[in-house]
């Protein structure tokens, strides 16, 4: 559970770092890059321990990566809806369903 919590927190930071500047079009690109790097530092401070603690204890490398991708999509979906004000469309949900199918097969023994 510690790994999942750290993955969620790290993905919140990374989503803000990568996409938070999109509504700040007046900000020069070089400043957006520097701010994003500063925010991404905290993502790494959470992601590296999540991967280190999760690998071998609870997850294989493949499972850890796919779990991280699902967490990323959930965090980004909430960010896109509430911050970017983008609609969630049926094709997005269908795509997520296919990814969840991949998760199912990844964790099958």
> Would you call 106 exposed, middle or buried from its count of C-beta atoms within 10 A (0-12, 13-18, 19+)?
middle
CA distance 99 to 53: 24
| pLDDT tens digits along 2-55 | 999 999 999 999 999 999 999 999 999 999 999 999 999 999 999 999 999 999
Global confidence as pTM: 0.86
- Tokens standing for 5? 């919590």
Cβ-Cβ contacts under 8 Å for 37 (sequence gap 6 or more): 17
| pLDDT tens digits along 58-101 | 899 989 998 999 999 999 999 999 999 999 999 999 998 998 89
> Would you call 18 exposed, middle or buried from its count of C-beta atoms within 10 A (0-12, 13-18, 19+)?
middle
Place of tokens 């699902």: 70
CA distance 51 to 61: 9
């Amino acid at each position: 559970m510690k790994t999942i919590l750290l993955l969620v927190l790290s993905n919140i930071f990374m989503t803000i770092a990568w996409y938070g500047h999109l509504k700040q079009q007046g900000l020069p690109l070089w400043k957006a890059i520097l701010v994003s790097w500063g925010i991404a530092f905290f993502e790494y401070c959470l992601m590296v321990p999540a991967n280190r603690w999760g690998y071998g204890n609870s997850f294989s490398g493949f499972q850890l990566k796919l779990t991280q991708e699902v967490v990323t999509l959930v965090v980004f979906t909430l960010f896109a809806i509430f911050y970017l004000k983008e609609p969630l469309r049926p094709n997005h949900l269908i795509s997520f369903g296919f990814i969840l199918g991949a998760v199912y097969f990844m964790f099958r023994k």
